[in-house]
Amino acid sequence: MYKQTKICVVGLGYVGLPLARLFSTKYETVGYDMNVARVDELMSGIDKTCEVSHELLQSALDNGFRCTADLNEIRDCNFYVIAVPTPVDDYNHPDLRPLWGASETVGKVISRGDVVVYESTVYPGVTEDECLPVVERVSGLKFNEDFFAGYSPERINPGDKVHTVEKIKKVTSGSTPEIAEYINSVYASVIEAGTHLAPSIKVAEASKIIENTQRDVNIAFMNELAKIFNAMGIDTLDVVEAAASKWNFIKMKPGLVGGHCIGVDPYYLIEKAQVFGVYPRVMSSARRLNDGMGEYVASQVIRLMNKRGLLVKDSKILILGITFKENCPDIRNTKVVNVIETLNEYTDNVSVYDPCADKQRVSKEFGIELIDDLSDSKYDAVVHCVAHAQFSQLDVRSLLRENGIVYDVKGTLDRSKVDGRL
């Protein structure tokens, strides 16, 4: 059966590309993306997301893996994996348009006996209630008679070169017991960490969304503690270190919660819960608290500057990092932008430096022009927002004017070199 399986991964972003590359080590695999420029870039051996190295990608291409934007090139596949984003709209309502579009794509090429597996993070029920009816409508085929389905939530950790896709245990599920076993066997054949076969598609969907929601709630708790302890003049990270001396304390840190997962996925479960008459108070409060942390960080920086006698409107402020996490070029839903926007209300002299981010994309998405280097200016305040590896070697105090301050959002800089931290 392994030799007969031909895989198509729809969506070649942070999730789809590493998975497609991994599948290609055992199966004939095609990556499909509507973005022709992205396809051309990948076929030249370059991945601008930095999730797959040039060496790994080129090796895959040399061994038959290919990427395409042409539907005709994926018609002969029989195992379709959909890995597209699941964003929210301006009002934090789930936006299923990428999933509907990908389902239409598969509906145009799927044949009798084929399988489609969804990886995108959703609330329970989306696969069967929202996506598969689209595949049925477009293909003219009947679900669980002519074609079959499964759900295997992505667990990619962008920028993580240790916990790569093959080293993270994979949850799988299928629309029938036989198909579930087949889907599980395909993933198990490439995932070194093994798989967990869930009893249903809805269980698998729910398992993923609570992973991210749990983390969101835990970070919100730490952010609330940071606000309390900062008001008391107590260092939050010192408190965490002391508490973590007990074996069952869950050690987490406060911080900005952005990105395409933790800062977005809880809204899917929040909205669906209300359909069933349940208002999720803890999750909703956590989201509000975490979404407000950018403004809080900016207010803390301004407070420190005022205590030093620095007039904010005349001061030059440097932001270190704009991506949503360290060592990763991903700027989706980055909350560093909220820090910048708040500071811009007080001064026009805010500069942003990030060697990992794409300058053109940052300019297009946020209207922010990244500076090229740190050699030309001195600053009244440096705000360390993202813990890129390059910043750990940086002498931050050398960037300051006399009496300037360093604020460490991430809590990773040398304690003796910072004036305040979250």
Q: What is the mean pLDDT of the chain?
A: 95
Partners of 150 in the beta sheet?
117, 174
CA 306/CA 420 separation, integer angstroms: 13
**Average pLDDT of the residues in 14-31:** 96
Which one is catalytic: 77, 261, 328, 385?
261
pLDDT of residue 260: 86
pLDDT of residue 119: 97
Q: For residue 160, is pLDDT > 90?
A: no
pLDDT of residue 177: 97
Better-predicted residue by pLDDT, 328 or 3: 328
CA 173/CA 117 separation, integer angstroms: 9
pLDDT of residue 375: 82
Confidence bin at 3 (pLDDT 50/70/90): low
pLDDT digits (tens, 9 = 90+) for 198-250: 999 999 999 999 999 999 999 999 999 999 999 999 999 999 999 999 999 99
Four-residue CA torsion sign, 279, 280, 282, 285: negative
**Average pLDDT of the residues in 127-135:** 98
Q: For residue 143, is pLDDT > 80?
A: yes
**Average pLDDT of the residues in 67-95:** 96
Q: For residue 2, is pLDDT > 60?
A: no
Q: For residue 53, is pLDDT > 60?
A: yes
pLDDT of residue 398: 94
Confidence bin at 162 (pLDDT 50/70/90): confident
| HEC secondary structure over the chain | CCCCCEEEEECCCCCHHHHHHHHCCCCEEEEECCCHHHHHHHHCCCCCCCCCCHHHHHHHHHCCCEEECCHHHHCCCCEEEECCCCCECCCCCECCHHHHHHHHHHHHHCCCCCEEEECCCCCCCHHHHHHHHHHHHHHCCCECCCEEEEECCCCCCCCCCCCCHHHCCEEECECCHHHHHHHHHHHHCCCCCCEEECCCHHHHHHHHHHHHHHHHHHHHHHHHHHHHHHHHCCCHHHHHHHHCCCCCCCCCCCCCCCCCCCCCHHHHHHHHHHHCCCCCHHHHHHHHHHHCHHHHHHHHHHHHHHHCCCCHHHCCEEEECCCCCCCCCCCCCCCHHHHHHHHHCCCCCEEEECCCCCHHHHHHHHCCCCCCCCCCCCEEEEEECCCCHHHHCCCHHHHEEEEEEEEECCCCCCHHHCCEEC
pLDDT digits (tens, 9 = 90+) for 386-400: 999 999 889 999 999
Q: For residue 50, is pLDDT > 70?
A: yes
**Average pLDDT of the residues in 264-283:** 96
User: Is 261 considered catalytic here?
Assistant: yes
**Average pLDDT of the residues in 373-382:** 90
pLDDT digits (tens, 9 = 90+) for 308-330: 999 999 999 999 999 999 999 99
Confidence bin at 104 (pLDDT 50/70/90): very high
pLDDT of residue 303: 96
**Average pLDDT of the residues in 37-50:** 95
**Average pLDDT of the residues in 259-270:** 92
Global model pTM greater than 0.85: yes
